[in-house]
Structure 1
Amino acid sequence: MQRLVLLIASLILSSVVLAESFRVTDIRVEGLQRVSAGSVFAALPVRIGDFMDTVEIQEATRSLFATGYFADIQIGRDEGVLVITVKERPAISEIVLEGNKAIKTEDLMKGLRDNGLSEGQIFKRVTLEGLGQELQRQYVAQGRYSASVKTEVIDLPRNQVKLQITIDEGKVASIEHINLVGNNAFDDDELLDLFELKSTGWLSWITSDNKYAREKLTGDIERLESHYMDRGYLKFRMPSTQVSVSPDKESVYITVNIEEGEVFKIGKVELAGDPILPEEYIRMLVLVREGDTFSQVLMTTTSDYITKRLGNEGYTFAEVKGIPELNQETGLVDVTFFIDPGKRAYVRRVEFRGNTKTKDEVLRREMRQMEGASAKNTDIEYSKLKLERLGFFKEVQVETNEVPGTADLVDVEYTVEEQPSGSIGATVGYAQGTGLVLGGNIQQNNWLGTGKRVGISVNTSKYQQVYSFNYMDPYFTVDGVSRGFSVFYRATDFSQINVASYSTNTYGANLNFGYPISEVERLGFGIGYTNMYIKTGSRAVQEIRRSPNLIEGIDSNFITESDLQTLIDEVNAANTNPISGGAPALDFSSPIDEVVNTLNNPEGFIDANGDRFDSFPFTLSWAKSTLNRGQLATRGSSHNLSLEFSVPGSDMEFYKLRYSGQYFQPIYGDFTLRFRGDLGYADSYGKTSILPFFEHFYAGGFGSVRGFKRNTLGPRSTPAATYDVVGPYFGAQGPGVGAEDTDGDGSYDTFQGGYILCDQTRDVIYKQGADVCIQDKLRASVIGRDDLPFGGNVLIEGSVELLFPLPFIEDQRMLQTAFFVDTGNVFNTNCGFYQQNCFDVDPGKLSASYGIGLTWISGFGPLTFSLSRPFQYNPEDERETFQFSLGTAF
């Protein structure tokens, strides 16, 4: 109204002052502050030299008001000069939102910007009032009937304003009752199960499904309609839907009126239009059949199938419509699929967006849809899947855009979101079972955005020091042949990670190639060289080194058991103190070597094969993967089968066959079942007497059977034993305790020992702290129950997981949570006589656990947690309820 009054006043004034036509010799604009004079002249329909009268003045005023920049405009004349005086609308200096929680501030600000209200823009009151009403409608659509939106304009100096928007969101009205009227074929419970909205129940405070929202009700009505249409109710209608609100605006009552109609069956099924493909091919995609009950979902699915099939032939813009027509004579529904293939489309360009790190060529080499070729839906979608499998991106999206001005060209645009694919710099981490990990490393699966894998590491932990370099180029050739190599040095003390006590120093190198045999399958070949030195001490277990062992630093002589007893009797009878003299010395003059060499104790691996090895391992592998993602997959499957064996003539001759696989089965929404299995078998051949113990399989811990300590399942080692020794003289408390000053220097000699030869035949009895005779030769005792896990040559593992999304977390792409049941164990087909927990393959000895696990691919590295409870286990299994692995890079 104000604008209209100003316009009329301006026209009246103009008609009085400028009733006569005159020629414009100049134009002067007054009152401008932020708006440029150029913007005024661009909107003004008058130029210098034009003649103006009342009509031109009115047109000029309307044109300037139409810009929206001005609250008032006055036009005057100073002889031949046209004088335009304006009053600018105020600019928005600040927008403040208060009270909003259900709708995010950034979403509200976006709505304001879309409607021309943002800081720095010209303020339009009518726009603000309309936006306030729209916000009110949005809250009502969410069931917040008591919501209110208050807008306030605060004037500021220099013709600026501050917009204060205060929101009282109120409460979401609860649904007290949903009433269905007119349904006869299906009862209320069956139909209401289709609804996302529910009436208030005892679980509503958790599920919030009783909170009314217009969008949810619209979806529920569509599902109700589809339910009837899919079951032949072609004339189904819902004449009305009423939503009633209680006076206090906190309760909602919904009534849905239904007209079911009758059930119809399908008559003829016809194809019309231009199918392009032979009719028999199209007919194979048709899901509706004559005589079946009419189903709308089968009709629309058939249309989708035919559309995709034509898209695979390059007809990207094909349209297929299923048209049901009621035949009044037969009472049947005839269905006609009208096919319009359009023109065959070709790809002009394939473009990439969002790859801030990864080079275009890395993405382009994964493309199966080529530029200049016919656009095929399968190739476009499969190219998207190939990008997702790289593991470099959180998400990949693809759009097919028509090229303006053409009817047969499209541009295919892939938009990716990068994610961490490695770490650079110093590394600090902690993992249960390996402890603190320190070192420097560069490990990148996408080195400098080239897609190559490069790793340089210097790492140390409580059990291992590693220096290594590895490199792999997945596209060594343009057709996808990969090549990689690695060199390494590794010093490991396995006693620190729940493995039988021994340590190794190893260095070597490997070269490998991979050959694609299909889009999802590869063959691998590898050859390497390894030099290994195994270190053991007197505590080495029987399976590694013959036990009992001689003790380092003890003279290799012995005394018989009967001579020792005779001397003990003499000392006891004479009550002689050897320190003050008079006690006979122990005679250790007989060498022990000739006695030890006659022992028949079983040999350990090192006794039979030595402790230094040069070997040349060769690897053959086959891999197939249809997983949807490179990390945290949720769809597809993967299979890996490998055979590793040392080349004949190596110091160690053995082979290892291993299979690992996983399969994902979606069950509902974001819920997925994951099945995993690992099987392994290994053995020696040729001159190597038994499978090298350092090539054993182990089980337990992450990636294996959770709920059990790392590597603790399966066979245990046989505890080591040493031969007993005694001192060379009788001491004050008996044999082997004291010493004598034999050289007259005033001090007692250093203790020297010897071994005791047994006189009687006795069985071997391994018992904690007991002295025994072994094979009628020497007396020995067990030096501790050092029966640590030793592994075996047969591995069996499996698990079932239910993957589910975490509530209240919007972005689930870097998280994976699961309920799991794990089972597995390690067996040995050649168990030692004294080995504990060692069994041949026996399903009844499989250990098992259940629990919940979480993996998060964070910017600091992967974090993995599990909380589990073993429910089937063997006596020697070591259980562990909480397990985690944490790594961080900086």
Structure 2
Amino acid sequence: MKSSSTLACITKSLTGLALGLGLLLTTGPAFAQEQEIVIEDLRIQGLQRVSPGSVFAELPLQTGDQVLPSEVSSAGKRLYATGLFDDLKIFEDRGVITFELKERPTLNELVIEGNQKVSSDDLKSGLRQAGLQEGQIFQRSTLDQIKLELQRMYHAQGRYNARIESTVEELPRNQVRVRLDITEGSVATIRRINIVGNEAFDNETLVRRFELQEDRGWTLFSSADQYSRERLSGDLERLRSWYLDRGYLRFNIESTQVSISPDKQDVFITVNVHEGEQYTVSEVELAGDLILEEDQLRPLQRLQAGDTFSRSAMTSTSETMRRRLGIEGYTFAEVSGRPEIDDENLEVKITFLVEPGSRMYVRKVNFRGNTGTQDEVLRREMLQMEGASANTDLIQASKARLERLGYFSQVEVETSPVSGSDDLVDVNFTVEEQPSGSISASVGYSQASGIVFGAAISQRNFLGTGSTVSFNANKSDFRTSYNFSYLNPYYTIDGVSRGFNVFYRETDFDALGVTNFATDAYGGNVTYGYPISHDSRLSLSVGFDKTGIRANQNADQSYVINEIDNFNELYGLDFLNYKLTGRWTQNKLNRGILATAGSYQRVSLEVAIPESDYEFYKVEYRGQRYFQLADDWSLKFRTEIGYGDGLGSDFDRLPFYEHYYAGGLNSVRGYRTSRLGPRNSAGNAFGGNLLTEGSVELIFPLWFVEDRRSIQTSFFVDGGNVFTTRCYGQSTCERGFDENELRFSAGVSLTWLTAIGPLAFSIAEPLNDQDGDETEFFQFSIGQVF
């Protein structure tokens, strides 16, 4: 029996997580004896924001239940575990159980001060994810954990002397204001990296292999001198690979120590190594099911008896052999190099174990992600055929052809086994489409052309068929042009292309600062192309153009006639020419624009055929070659050569309106556009019939740019000029090519594919400009395609 004087009080003062585990129970005699209680009523006290319904929903107790004191205590623990309360007390009097609660405060305001390297918005976003947010329940334990996380974040940036101080101010209505005072401190830099135990290579040679570098002053714009545990792990693996690639098979990193100076500004790294002895290759064997003859696999070996052992050469040999077997259809072949070490003689025998597996055949070639492009457009680029044996080279070449289309921002390929079959695979291409059409109006500017107004409708993948349709109109200070073109790259199933275009343009060369005449021209052509290999094609174009020559607003017609040596007396000033153009093009670039690897070549011959008003020919060569040095680093070579002349005894020179010009962004940078070469009697550039240009560029990445496919920077050296073998009457020129007249420049360039159009600029210094040359240190263009 329980009397009214018996008061069982279960109290729990919850002063935070620091008090530890479980409830501290203070019980009266009834609870101490674990006598059952019949619940007459349940009461909740102290609620302000939390609804009683939420509390009762968490309590596994109801009126009329017979419960033990321990069950009431467990109910209190469950209620506290909701995280809504700072303190909880339980009272029982004659079956009436009262839960007296103290709610946790609400975070009214979060103030962050002292942060500069990380914005307050970013910090608040991170704190919100960690559970500290204005308007939510405030838990001091969460604040303590967040302070530790912020400390670790700044330590990850190398700011080891960063401090995080917090204050909690109580406000009315059970609210608090939290203030975080951050002292970010300065970045600690690596003062010294020391490798101990090395004898074969000096410290400087080994440290150059590291991504982490000592602070030398020139790392101002780099984080290479800031310590990172992850980067150190990568550097240690590079160090290990360096030794293993030079025959030190027993190399071992015995310990690594990282220490920081008392002022937390300098970091010192010490790596203790054991080099061991250098091993040479005693023998190289092939084992397993070779499939191919040994004389076909032996040339793929990068290691021979007597060579210094190299792990990378062994791995590369395995991969090369595996790819070779993949060409034969053994898609899942495995080739593993197994070294047998002879420590006594310091030799290693390498056995390449060949496990070809089953020869695979392609069941299906599937495409995913091409929501706008028809399957047929992708399928016609395939070199790997369904039903044929799987060929890894053909699969990768098919992937490259899809990437060159320019319709997709990303192309991935996966070869997957067919369930239930041991010799069938599916080849799955996954593409990510990018916009291939546009309707635009633009205003651009370049130093060469002035303000450029343009309007264009273009669709490179018209209705998903792969055909290109475009119309554009442009007007600048020196040119007005209109052009319509159409190209079907697969006019026939064999890949024969057909296209045509029509154009009209007016060109005022004097506005460009060149010579004193203007031309009006219109024409059109039809072009057929034929593929002769995976990356090469021949094309033939037949067309005509009508060109009229007139004096511009700054010169009268007689001046133009005299300037061109009475050209009109022989040929007139209006020319209707029928042109036949043949081209050979080879494209092995890894991208359609801003390439970094591969090569491109084009040879063309344009002839104004008989029955033309003026018969002439032009032969041109354009070439690019990229050598990839490392990720995002490439060396680019560019060459452009052009030559033109008249055909037959009646036409003894290239007509002046077809002249080549040199100088400018797309030519020899640092010299004004089209201002190099022979000049007329008025001192204006007159062009010539022989063009020679070339450049060498070192393409390098900008460390702060993530999307490096849309921006490209380079150091360059340009060279070239335009010459003439046939001088017009009053033009001043030296006949023929003269290497002493080549102009050179060096500088830095940037090309950026922006949302409003391409942006290109260069900063160049002419290296051998002469009197009369017109130079420009800074050249740029916005809204024009290069």
Q: Which band: TM-score by shorter chain?
A: 0.7 to 0.9
Describe the SS at the equivalent of 2:645: strand
Instruction: Give me the whole-angstrom Cα distance separating, in 2, the residues matched to 1:40 and 1:275.
Output: 75
TM superposition shift of 1:789: 2.8
Question: Given the superposition, is the C-alpha separation of residues 348 and 96 from structure 1 closer, same or farther in structure 2, using an over 3 Å criterion?
Answer: farther
Q: Which residue of 2 aligns with 1:389?
A: 404
**Matched residue, 2:304:** 289
Aligned to 2:4: none
For 2:669 and 2:137, locate their aligned partners in 1 and report how far apart those are by CA, in whole Å: 63
| SS at structure 1 position matched to 2:600 | strand
* 1:497 is the counterpart of 2:512: yes
1:615 pairs, out of 564, 567, 577, with 577
Identity %: 45
Contact 1:492 / 1:504 at 8 angstroms: preserved in 2? yes
**Structure-to-structure mapping, 1:619-658, within 5 angstroms:** 619-658=581-620
Q: Deviations over 1:680-722 (max 9, x none)?
A: 12222258523322122222222122232322223334xxxxx
The CA deviation string for residues 528-549 of structure 1, in whole angstroms up to 9 with x for no partner, is: 132333335984578x6358xx
Counterpart-to-counterpart distance in 2, 1:113 and 1:302:
52
CA displacement 1:499-553 (0-9 Å, x = unmatched): 43233332222222222222211211211132333335984578x6358xxxxxx
Q: Could you say which residue in structure 1 is the equivalent of 2:684?
A: 788
Number of residue equivalences: 761
> What is the match of residue 709 of structure 1?
672
| Contact preservation (8 Å) 2:278, 2:346 | no
Q: 2:634 aligns with which of 652, 661, 672?
A: 672
Q: 1:241 aligns with which of 256, 274, 297?
A: 256
Taking a change above 3 Å as real, the CA distance of residues 879 and 423 of structure 1, as seen in their structure-2 partners, is farther
Preserved contact between residue 702 and residue 713 of structure 2 (Cα < 8 Å): yes
**Comparing 707-716 with 338-347, which one deviates more in the overlay?**
338-347
Instruction: Say whether residues 1:352 and 2:248 are aligned partners.
Output: no
- CA RMSD between the two structures: 5.3
- The structure whose Rg is larger is 1
Within the candidate set 456, 476, 482, 2:497 is matched to: 482
**Residues 322-361 of structure 1: pairs in structure 2 closer than 5 A:** 322-327=337-342, 330-338=345-353, 349-352=366-369
Q: Does 1:300 align with 2:340?
A: no
Q: Secondary structure at the match of 1:385?
A: helix
Give, in whole Å, the separation in 2 of the partners of 1:698 and 1:820: 20
Q: Distance in 2 between matches of 1:336 and 1:104?
A: 57
What SS is found at the alignment partner of 1:238? strand
Q: What corresponds to 1:741 in structure 2?
A: none
Q: Are 1:487 and 1:508, in contact at CA under 8 Å, matched by a contact in 2? A: yes
Q: Structure 1 residues 525, 348: CA separation in 2 closer, same or farther (over 3 Å shift)?
A: closer
Helix, strand or coil at the partner of 1:697: coil
* Aligned residue type for 2:603: L
Secondary structure of 2:442 counterpart: strand
Alignment of 1:858 with 2:754, yes or no, is: yes
Which residue is 1:870 aligned to? 766
Q: Is the CA contact 1:327–1:333 (under 8 Å) kept in the aligned structure 2?
A: yes
Q: CA deviation digits over 1:139-179, x for unaligned, max 9?
A: 43443322344567889999999887665432222333333
Give the SS at the match of 2:252: coil
Tell me: CA distance 1:231–1:121, structure 2 relative to 1, closer, same or farther (3 Å).
farther
Q: Give the Å deviation of 1:660.
A: 0.9
Match of 2:201, SS?
A: coil
Match of 1:180 in 2: 195
- Shift in alpha-carbon separation, 1:612–1:196, aligned structure 2, 3 A: closer
Bigger shift: residues 794-803 or 493-502: 493-502
1:836 Cα deviation after fit? 0.5
Aligned counterparts of 1:288 and 1:66: Cα–Cα separation in 2: 66
Q: Distance in 2 between matches of 1:20 and 1:349?
A: 71
1:76-87 matches, within 5 Å, as none
1:534 maps to which residue?
Answer: 549
Partner residue, 2:8 = none
2:712 is the counterpart of 1:698: no
- The DSSP-based 3-state class of the residue aligned with 2:253 is coil
- Asked if the contact 2:520/2:549 (under 8 Å) is kept, the reply is yes
Residues 287, 131 of structure 1: CA spacing in aligned structure 2 closer, same or farther, 3 A cutoff?
farther
Map of 1:251 onto structure 2: 266
Aligned to 1:398: 412
Q: Which residue identity does 2:662 align to in structure 1?
A: A
Cα offset, 1:639, TM superposition: 0.5
Secondary structure of 1:133's aligned partner: helix
Aligned with residue 821 of structure 1, among 717, 734, 750: 717
Residue number among 508, 521, 524 corresponding to 1:509 in the alignment? 524
Q: Which runs of 5+ in 1 are unaligned?
A: 23-30, 548-601, 718-784
Q: Distance in 1 between matches of 2:660 and 2:383?
A: 40
Matches within 5 A, 1:420-459: 424-445=439-460, 451-459=466-474
8 Å CA contact 1:17–1:76 kept in 2: the answer is no
Is 2:490–2:497's contact at 8 Å kept on the other side of the alignment? yes
Q: Is the 8 A contact 1:609 1:689 kept in 2?
A: no
Instruction: Give the counterpart letter for 2:627 in structure 1.
Output: Q
Is 1:685 paired with 2:685? no
Checking the alignment, whether the CA contact within 8 Å between 1:671 and 1:803 is kept in structure 2 is yes
Contact 1:501 1:541 in 2 (8 A): no
Superposed, which structure 2 residues align to 1:61-140 within 5 Å? 129-130=144-145, 132-140=147-155
**Preserved contact between residue 550 and residue 557 of structure 2 (Cα < 8 Å):** no
The 3-state SS of whatever aligns with 2:716 is: strand
Amino acid at match of 2:692: I
Is the CA contact 1:177–1:253 (under 8 Å) kept in the aligned structure 2? yes
Quote the residue 1:846 is aligned against: 742
Aligned partner letter, 1:258? V
Amino acid of the structure 2 residue aligned with 1:821: V
What amino acid is aligned across from residue 826 of structure 1 in structure 2? V
Task: Give distance in 1, aligned partners of 2:526 and 2:79.
Answer: 77
Q: Answer 1 or 2: higher relative contact order, Cα 8 Å, separation at least 6.
A: 1
Map of 2:42 onto structure 1: none
| TM-score, length-scaled by structure 2 | 0.79
Post-superposition offset of 1:398: 3.1
Residues 227-248 of structure 1 show CA distances to partners (whole Å, capped at 9, x for unaligned) of: 2222222222222111222222
CA contact (8 A) 2:399 2:413 kept: no
Q: Which residue of 2 aligns with 1:215?
A: 230
TM-superposed CA distance for 1:659, in Å, is 0.9
Q: Is the contact between residue 23 and residue 77 of structure 2 (CA under 8 Å) also seen in structure 1?
A: no
Aligned pair in 2 of structure 1 residues 374, 456: CA closer, same or farther (>3 Å)? same
* Segment drifting more, 265-274 vs 452-461: 265-274
Q: 1:824: how far off? A: 1.9
1:545 — aligned with what?
561
* 1:474–1:482 Cα contact (<8 Å) kept: yes
Distance in 2, Cα, partners of 1:406 & 1:34:
59
Seen in structure 2, the aligned counterparts of structure 1 residues 372 and 495 have a Cα distance that, compared at 3 Å, is same
- Please give the secondary structure, in 1, of the residue aligned with 2:767: strand
**CA separation of 1:212 and 1:605: change in aligned 2, threshold 3 A:** same
Of 274-283 and 458-467, the range deviating more from structure 2: 274-283
Once the two structures are TM-superposed, the CA of residue 827 in structure 1 deviates from its matched residue by: 2.4
Per-residue displacement from partner, 1:628-653 (whole Å, max 9, x unpaired)? Answer: 22112121111111111123222232
d(CA) in 2 for partners of 1:63 and 1:324?
Answer: 62
Q: Separation in 2 of the partners of 1:154 and 1:306?
A: 70
- The residue that corresponds to 1:560 in the other structure is none
How far, CA to CA, are the matches of 2:541 and 2:126 in structure 1?
A: 59
Is the 8 Å Cα contact of residues 10 and 75 (structure 1) preserved in structure 2? no
Question: 1:623: Cα distance to partner?
Answer: 0.6
Using the TM superposition, give the Cα deviation of residue 135 of structure 1 relative to its aligned residue in structure 2, in angstroms. Answer: 4.5
Aligned mates of 1:848, 1:11 — CA distance in 2: 93
Q: CA deviation at 1:618?
A: 1.7
